[in-house]
Amino acid sequence: MRKTLFFFALVALMSIGKTFADEGMWLPMFVDRLNYTDMQKMGLQLTPEEIYSINNSSLKDAIVGLSGGPTPTGFFCTGEIVSEKGLLFTNHHCGYDNIQKLSSVDHDYLADGFWAKSFDEELPTYGEMTASFLIKMENVTDSIFANVTDNMDDKTRSAEIRKVTTRLKETYNEDGKYNVVVKSFFEGNEYYLFIYEVYTDVRLVGTPPSSIGKFGGDTDNWMWPRHTGDFSIFRVYSAPDGSPADYSENNIPLQPKYHLPISLDGVQKDDFTMIWGFPGTTTRYMTSFEVETSIEELYPTVVDVFGKQLEIWKEFMDTNTKVKIQYASKYAGVANTWKNYIGRIRSLNRLHTINKKQETEAQFDTWLNANADRKAEYGDVLETFETYNAGMKDFLSTFYYVQLTGLGAEITGLGMDFGELAQIMAPINKKELPKDKKEAEAMKEQRSTEANQLIETFRAELNEFYKDYDATTDQKVFAEMMKMYIKHTPENLQSAYVTKSLKNYKNDYEAFAAHVFNTSLLSSKDKIEAFLNKPDYKKISNDPVVIIANEVMAGVMSMAGQYREINAPMAKAKRLYMKGLREMNPDKVYYPDANSTMRMTYGSVQDYQPADAIHYEFVTTTKGILEKEDPNNSEFIVPARLKELIEKEDYGPYSENGEMIVCFLSTNDITGGNSGSPIINGKGELLGLAFDGNWDAMSSDIVFEPELQRTINVDIRYVLFIIDKFAGATNLIDELTIRQSEPKPIRTETTL
Ligand code: ARG
Of 92, 93, 227, 488, the catalytic one is: 93
Closest ligand 1 atom to the C-alpha of 217?
Answer: 10
SS (H, E, C) 515-533: HHHHHCHHHCHHHHHHHHH
* CA–centroid distance, residue 698 to ligand 1 (Å): 13
Active site includes 92?
A: no
Atom 4 of ligand 1: nearest residue by CA position: 672
Q: Which of 218, 329, 692, 700 to mutate to test the pocket of ligand 1 (most atoms within 8 A of CB)?
A: 692
Closest ligand 1 atom to the C-alpha of 220?
Answer: 10
* Ligand 1 binding pocket includes 333 (Cβ within 6 Å): no
Active site includes 675?
A: yes
pTM of the model: 0.93
Question: So what's the pLDDT on residue 678?
Answer: 98
* CA–centroid distance, residue 282 to ligand 1 (Å): 17
Q: Is 319 exposed, middle or buried (0-12, 13-18, 19+ CB in 10 A)?
A: exposed
Type of residue numbered 288: S
Question: So what's the pLDDT on residue 22?
Answer: 85
Q: What is the DSSP letter of 61?
A: G
Select from 630, 638, 676, 93 the least CA-distant residue to 332. 93
pLDDT tens for residues 516-545?
A: 999 999 999 999 999 999 999 999 999 999
* Ligand 1 binding pocket includes 634 (Cβ within 6 Å): no
* CA–centroid distance, residue 443 to ligand 1 (Å): 50
Residue 679 exposure: Cα atoms within 13 Å on the Cβ side:
33
* Ligand 1 binding pocket includes 217 (Cβ within 6 Å): yes
Contacts of 71 (CB under 8 A, 6+ apart): 179, 198
pLDDT tens for residues 314-359?
A: 999 999 999 999 999 999 999 999 999 999 999 999 999 999 999 9
- The answer to whether the Cα torsion of 725, 729, 730, 733 is positive or negative is negative
Question: So what's the pLDDT on residue 746?
Answer: 55
- Beta strands at 686-693 and 678-680: parallel, antiparallel or unpaired: antiparallel
* CA–centroid distance, residue 174 to ligand 1 (Å): 38
For residues 81 and 281, is the Cβ–Cβ distance under 8 A?
no
Say yes or no to pLDDT of 5 above 60. Answer: no
For residues 280 and 700, is the Cβ–Cβ distance under 8 A?
no
* Ligand 1 binding pocket includes 332 (Cβ within 6 Å): yes
* Ligand 1 binding pocket includes 714 (Cβ within 6 Å): no
Say yes or no to pLDDT of 87 above 90. Answer: yes
For residues 30 and 598, is the Cβ–Cβ distance under 8 A?
no
pLDDT tens for residues 443-479?
A: 999 999 999 999 999 998 999 899 999 999 999 999 9
Atom 2 of ligand 1: nearest residue by CA position: 692
Q: What is the DSSP letter of 33?
A: I
pLDDT tens for residues 7-44?
A: 332 333 333 333 344 899 999 999 999 999 999 999 99
Of 230, 271, 470, 701, the catalytic one is: 230
For residues 229 and 207, is the Cβ–Cβ distance under 8 A?
no
Percent of the chain topping pLDDT 70: 96
* Ligand 1 binding pocket includes 214 (Cβ within 6 Å): yes
Domain ranges across the chain: 288-567
* Ligand 1 binding pocket includes 221 (Cβ within 6 Å): yes
Q: How far from the centroid of its chain's Cα atoms is residue 669's Cα? A: 15
Mean of all residue pLDDT scores within the chain: 94
